[in-house]
Amino acid sequence: MTDTLTKESEVIEGLRQVVDPEIGLNIIELGLVRKVETSPESVHLTMILTTPFCPYGPQLLEQSRRVAEQVAGVPATIEMGSELWDPTFMEEGAGGDWGLF
C-alpha cells in the first residue's frame, strides 16, 4: 500500500511539469488531474480539460501520459472525466494571479 501511495505521489509531482500553454499553470495547479491510480503494471489517470474544446487538449493529454509513464516506469492510460472544470478545482493560491481567490 505504501508503495502505491508513493508512486501516486511521484506521478502527481511529475505531472507538475505539464503546463497549459494558454494559462501558464500546470495541470496539477489547475486541478485537471482528478484521479491517479497505480498498480505494479500500470498507471491510470482521470483528467478533465478547462474547456471541452481546449485547443491544447490533445497535447496536454499526450504529454501527461508520457510523463506519467516516465515517472512510474510502467505504461500509462488516460480517461477523460465527465465533470466540467471549475476554478474551485485549482490548488489553493494558484488562482491569485487571475484574481479568482
Number of domains observed in the structure of the chain:
1
Please write the tens of the pLDDT for every residue from 32-86: 999 999 999 999 999 999 998 889 999 999 999 999 999 999 999 999 999 999 9
Q: Model-level pTM? A: 0.87
Residue 100: the pLDDT is 52
Model confidence at 2, pLDDT cuts 50, 70, 90, reads low
Residue 97 counted as domain residue? no
Q: What is the mean pLDDT of residues 3-17?
A: 91
Residue 35 counted as domain residue? yes
Burial of 74 (0-12, 13-18, 19+ CB in 10 A): middle
Residue 98 counted as domain residue? no
Q: Which domain holds residue 20?
A: 2-85
Residue 96 counted as domain residue? no
Residue 101: the pLDDT is 46
CATH number of 80's domain: 3.30.300.130
